[in-house]
Amino acid sequence: MATFVLVPGACHGGWCFEQLTEQLREHGHRVVTVTLTGLSERSHQLTSTVNLDTHIQDLTALLSAEQVRNAVLVGHSYGGMVITGAADRAPERVDSLVFVDAFVPRDGESCWTLTNDVQREWYLSVGEDGYSVPALPSFDARATAHPLASFLQRIRLSGDLGRFRRRDYVYATVWDGESPFAPTYERLRKDPQWTVHAVDSRHNVMRDAPEELLKILLNAA
């Protein structure tokens, strides 16, 4: 039995993994889902001080409180930033990582530096408060605004991901225009330390390619 810890992308809550959670549990695995500070049912906590460090602390605190060991950390989209930071801060609790059409930052990088101009334009479409980025119309109706600072803050890492047993990258090939994750995909697919999967799916892989994603996760475990 593995322990999967599922971290959603921007504007989403742990509910985006509902189907995947049920499937993994049916296979006998433990599953812990995360809703980050300021998002979804925690949207009342969104302030100008919520940033990437806040979300990394959310995850590391959860791993400790739930007494998680040998976790398979799964991050979708922005969640890749969070699982990278948490794995760096609490490596003793992590076995492997799966990035689902997600950012895979190196030290000093941010969502802003890793993405494309289309996404940067979205980041800067903040509301009147100056710090909350509105959910895109294509998102689930439950999606809420996301803290701008978490997109802009550069991650600080003390090690690299090579210390973990396995690292998987799931790349969604169906985008309207250029995928903001294409450079990450091109970098990792040439790295023999990574297992890279190109999936015929839109960005919400959990919804659009659930069975293929389930197989990838089960293999990663």
pLDDT at 88: 98
- Report CA Rg, the chain: 16
pLDDT at 78: 98
Find out whether 32 and 40 touch, Cβ atoms under 8 Å: no
Q: Tell me how many degrees the CA angle 189-192-194 measures, rounded to the nearest 5.
A: 65
Which H or E run includes 7? Answer: strand 3-7
Number of independent structural domains in the chain: 1
Whether 77 is a known active-site residue: answer yes
What is the distance between the alpha carbons of residues 111 and 115, in angstroms, rounded to a whole number?
A: 6
What is the distance between the alpha carbons of residues 213 and 221, in angstroms, rounded to a whole number?
A: 13
What is the distance between the alpha carbons of residues 2 and 81, in angstroms, rounded to a whole number?
A: 22
- Say how many residues make up the chain: 221
pLDDT at 23: 97
Tens of pLDDT along the chain (221 residues) come to 999 999 999 999 999 999 999 999 999 999 999 999 999 999 999 999 999 999 999 999 999 999 999 999 999 999 999 999 999 999 999 999 999 999 999 999 999 999 999 999 999 999 999 999 999 999 999 999 999 999 999 999 999 999 999 999 999 999 999 999 999 999 999 999 999 999 999 999 999 999 999 999 999 99
Q: Which domain does 196 fall in, by range?
A: 3-220
Q: Report which of 214, 174, 198, 163 is spatially closest to residue 6, judged by C-alpha positions.
A: 214
pLDDT at 94: 98
Give the CATH number for residue 51.
Answer: 3.40.50.1820
Residue of 40, 43, 77, 179 marked catalytic? 77
pLDDT at 178: 93
Report residue 139 CA to chain centroid gap: 15
